[in-house]
Every structure is written in C-alpha cells, then in structure tokens.
Amino acid sequence: MGSHLDYQLTDRALPENLPPWGVLVLESHHSPKFAMNWRTHEFVKIIYVWKGRGEFHIGDEIHNFDANDVIIVPPRTRNRIVDDTSAVPSLYICCISTELFSFEPNLLQSLNVRLHHHRHGFTHRITSLLRGLIHSQHKPVATTSITMVADALRLLQLVLELETKPQAKHQSNGNERAVLQRYISELPDHFFEESSIESTSQRLGIPRRTFTQLFHELTGETWLAHTRRLAVEHAQVRLSQTDLPITSIAFECGFRDLSTFYRQFKKLSGMSPGEYRSTQSRPLNDGSNHS
C-alpha cells in the first residue's frame, strides 16, 4: 500500500463557507507544508483533533494541542493554527452560525476560548456527533438541514455542559475508575438516555468487562439494576408530586412499554404505580403542558 492516503492533504486553511442552514463540517488533513494566516469569523467553531499536535493561536493566547483534544473558538475571535512539523495534524471542524442562537442570545456570551484535553466519554460523544454530521453532509436528503442543525446544537450543548462541570482533580488519561465515578455521579440526571450496557461502555471508552466489574464495585449494583432503580425513584417523585398519567411517567423514565414499567416498579416499590400514588398526598400540579 505504500504511503497511499484515502484523504487529500492541504497546504492551506480550508474556506469556511456555511450553507443556508448555518452548519458546516470540514475535514482538514494538513501537509508538512501547511501554513495558516490569521483569520476572524462570525460563527462558532468547534475543532476536534483527530491526529497530530501543534498550537492554537487565539488572540494573544497560545494553546498546545494533541490528538483527541477539542477547542472552542467563539465568533469574532482572531485565530490561527501552527502545526508541529513532526506530527502534522488532521482536524475536524464544525462551524455553527450565530443565527442559530437567536432563540437564546445569552448562549453566545457563555462561550469562552477553551481547550479540552482528551477525556473519556466526552471525546467519544463529540466524535459520534461529528461522524453523524459528516454523514448527513455527504449524503444530503430532504432533512439534511434539520439533522445537521440538531446535531450541531447537541454538539454545542456538550461543550457548554463541560464548561460548567470542572474535571475531577484525580482524573487522568486512561483512569477508567475516575471516568466511571463521574459517569455514576451524573447518571441521576441522564438515566433515561441509557439504552444498553454495550453502548454505554463504548461511549465511555471502557471495555465492557472492566465497566461491569468497576460499576458493581463502585455502586454495589449491576448497571441495569442501578439504572432501573433510578428510573423507579424518579417515577415515585413524579407520581407523588404531579397528576401526570402513569403512561406518560413510564415514557419519561425511559421504559419502552407499560408492562415492563409496572413490573419493575412493583418489584422495587412493593406496590403498583397506582397504589403508590394513592398513598401520597394530593398533587399540586402536573409539571408539564400535556393535554
């Protein structure tokens, strides 16, 4: 095979011409001769470093980057990239128009220049969304614009969430225990997103067997038992504090069918959802706008 590459190397920064829906993903595979002039843009730029290393020059700051790092460049911020010639980088760049923030202008004010070094879970979720964006962009269909806008906003959400959750001091690359401890601490707010232990362990970058062993060691429960207990506890709160239909609560808690919800609820609560609700005080409101 020799030195054949399945992508084209570039000597210059690629043009960043956004489509009408305001989301563009670029693949920038640098050649040893790559050079980038200073540029300023009116959109948000999220850059994922697939390979290589170098420096991000942003305003008066210099950020050293390496493979699997992510950097956020806010609008109207002077920036350029200087490669390490011993390991020229390949980058994936998502450009997001500021017009997509018109529903919440304060979001733009929340964006700061920030370099996120490789973190299990976060990096995997970023790359998964980028792959989806690339797939949509390369195979356009009638819903391409909707799909790309939705994925781009989700990408931005991940970045903003990370800004408000400082990295644990004891966490380091390859520290699977620290990664899992953080995951467990955040699970009460995200249990309904989990679909299987396979997808979860893969997203966190931890082998399934290691994930299973560590999870039980840290919680005293299996992953499935733990997530179902969180779901039932959430259902108990909703049953006692709202008058939402039981079917709606089952859906909210992540159950695919009502029979499974009833079975798990009774197993953990000792009574059916209806019986549990009858033992609670009268709800004050329904907590939603369901009809």
* Partners of 79 in the β-ladder: 39, 58
Over residues 221-250, the pLDDT tens digits come to 999 999 999 999 999 999 999 888 998 899
CA distance 228 to 224: 6
Average pLDDT, the chain: 84
pLDDT band for 23, please (50, 70, 90 cuts).
very high
Is 3.40.640.10 the CATH classification of the domain at 224-278? no
Fold (topology level) of 9-163: Jelly Rolls (2.60.120)
Which of the 8 DSSP states describes residue 103?
A: T
pLDDT band for 282, please (50, 70, 90 cuts).
low
Q: Does the fold of domain 224-278 match that of domain 9-163?
A: no
CA distance 61 to 112: 12
pLDDT at 281 > cutoff 80: no
Find the DSSP H helices in the chain.
Answer: 106-110, 122-138, 144-163, 176-186, 197-204, 208-219, 223-241, 246-252, 258-269, 273-278
CA distance 178 to 172: 8
Please give the backbone phi and psi of residue 56, each rounded to the nearest 5 degrees, phi first.
Answer: -95, 120
Region 192-203: what's the mean pLDDT?
80
CA angle 141, 121, 157 (to 5 degrees): 55
Q: How many CA atoms lie within 13 A of 225 on its CB side?
A: 9
Helices vs strands, H then E, count in the chain: 10, 9
CA distance 85 to 66: 13
Over residues 61-109, the pLDDT tens digits come to 999 999 988 898 999 999 999 999 999 999 999 999 999 988 887 887 7
Question: Residue 47, class by beta-carbon neighbours within 10 Å (0-12 exposed, 13-18 middle, 19+ buried)?
Answer: buried
- Domain ranges, ordered by start, for the chain: 9-163, 176-220, 224-278
Please give the backbone phi and psi of residue 34, each rounded to the nearest 5 degrees, phi first.
Answer: -60, 135
CA distance 129 to 142: 19
Range picked from 22-26, 65-69, 162-166 for highest mean pLDDT = 22-26
